[in-house]
Structure 1
C-alpha cells in the first residue's frame, strides 16, 4: 500500500512539473488577470464581473505581447519584450520548485540550490517557447540581390 502512495505522489509531482513547464509562458497574463480581477472585486464587481474582467485583462496582456512581437523591428526590442514575460515565469518556477523540495529535503541550502535550478529550467523553457512565438524576420533579409 505504501508503494502505491509513493508512486501516486511521484506521478502527482510529475504532473505538476509538466503543468508548470507548459503554463510558464502564461505567468504574466495570469498575474495581470488576477491583479485586475482583485481590483474589480474590491470595487464591487461581483464574482461574474471579476471572472470576466480578469479573463479580459489576461487576454489583452497576451494579445499585447503578440502585437509587440509583431511590430517590434530590432532584435533587442523583441528580446526585452520576451524577457518581460520570462521574468514572472522564473519567479513562478522558483517558488514552485521550492514548494516541492521543501517537502523532500530538510537542508535550507539544498532547497535554495534546487529552487534556483528549477527557476533556471523554467526560465529557459519559457524563453524558448516565447521565442518560437516570435514571427520570423522579413524574407530575403541578408540575401544578396542581383539588381
Structure 2
C-alpha cells in the first residue's frame, strides 16, 4: 500500500499542516508489506489501528455518547476516517465528520479511500477517491468541514 494523493476542501490541508500532522497522515499509507488485493481491508484497518493508537489517537470513537456511530480515530480537534467499503458508506462517513464539525468537536478531518484502480481490485462498487472528490466538491456548501481526502493504492 502506498500514498498516492491528497485533495483539500475548505483548507483541510492547511489545518493538517498547521498541526504538523499532514506528512504523518500521508505516511500512514506508506506500508509496502500490505498488498492491495481482494480481502486486504482487514490488514489495512489493523495497520491503521496500530499506527493511530501508537500516536495517541482514540480509535473507533463514538461521534456522540448516545449513538453507536463511530469514526476511525480522533485526536485533539481532528477526526480521521478510512473507507474501503461501498461508495454509499463514504458519503455516510462525510455526514459523520460534518456532524462532529458542526457540534464543535473537531476543527478538521481526513477521509482516506483507495484510488479507482485500487478500489476495483478490492471489490465491486468500493468508494474511490475520484468519485468521492467529485461528489465532495458538488456538495461543498453542505460538507463544510475542512477536509483532507487521502487516496492510496
Query: TM-score normalised to the size of structure 2?
Result: 0.26
More strand by share: 2
Q: 1 or 2 for the larger relative contact order (CA 8 Å, sep ≥6)?
A: 2
**Which is greater in Rg?**
1
More helix by share: 1
Query: TM-score normalised to the size of structure 1?
Result: 0.27
